[in-house]
Amino acid sequence: MSRVFGEMRQIAFVVRDLEKALDYWTRTLGVGPFFVMRDIVPDNYRYRGKPVPPPRISLALGFSGEFQAEIIQQHDDKPSAYRDYLAAGHEGFQHVSSWMTRAEYDRAVPELIRSGLSVAHEGAIPGSGLRFIYFATDCVPGGPLYEISEAKEPSIYPTMMKIRDLARDWDGHDPVRDFAALMR
C-alpha cells in the first residue's frame, strides 16, 4: 500500500500494437480474458495542466488474481503521457493506479498537487464521467507514473469485479471481448 496514493490496484502498459500485446498476454502469459474499449477520446482532457485536444486511445482490462492489467494504445499524436512515453523510446510498463471513490478523489487530488506533484494528464472516460489523473512521478529511471481514478465508484466498481471474477474461471476461450458487453 502506498501511504501517499493508497492501495495499488492496477499495473498498466503502453504499447504501439494493442492486438499484438493482447495476443502475448492471453496466449503466452495465460492472463485473460481482456475487455476492450476501442477508439475512445477522454472528456475534460488536460495535458500538463492545460486543456488540449484529447488523444484517441484503445484500452484493454484484464485481471491476474486481485491485480488488474491495463494495456493502452494511442492512435494519434495528440499530447499525452502515453505519447511522451513512446516518444522517449519506451514501450511496456508505464504506470500503476489506485482506485478511489469520487469523494476520496476530490480530497486526494488537491492534496497531492499541494504536496508538489505535477500532473502529466487528466480527463474522464466518455459516457461514464469516471475521472482519472496521472501524476508525473517518473523522475527516476524505471519509475512509473502514478494514476488515481474513480474506479471504486458504484457505477463502475462492480464491473471491475466482474472482470476479476471472469478471469478466475477463464478457460482460455474468447480471450478478447468487448467491454460494452459487460454493461448489458
pLDDT in tens, 112-129: 999 999 999 999 999 888
Helix (H, G, I), strand (E, B) or coil at 36: strand
Q: Is 26 exposed, middle or buried (0-12, 13-18, 19+ CB in 10 A)?
A: buried
The model's pLDDT over 24-37, given as tens digits with 9 standing for 90+, comes to: 999 999 999 999 99
Whole-prediction pTM? 0.95
Q: What mean pLDDT do residues 159-166 have?
A: 97
Which band of pLDDT confidence, cut at 50, 70 and 90, is reported for residue 4?
A: low
CATH number of 8-183: 3.10.180.10
2 Cβ contact list (under 8 Å, min separation 6): 8, 98, 146
pLDDT at 171 over 70: yes
Q: Residue 1 above 60 pLDDT?
A: no
Q: What is the pLDDT of residue 7?
A: 83
pLDDT at position 182, please?
Answer: 87
Q: Check residues 131 and 8 and name the one with the higher pLDDT.
A: 131
Distance CA 87, CA 98 (A): 25
Q: What does the pLDDT read at residue 3?
A: 66
In the structure, what pLDDT confidence band is assigned to residue 166 with cuts at 50, 70 and 90?
A: very high
- What the block records as the C-alpha cell of 40 is 475512445
Averaged confidence pLDDT in the chain: 94
Domain ranges of the chain: 8-183
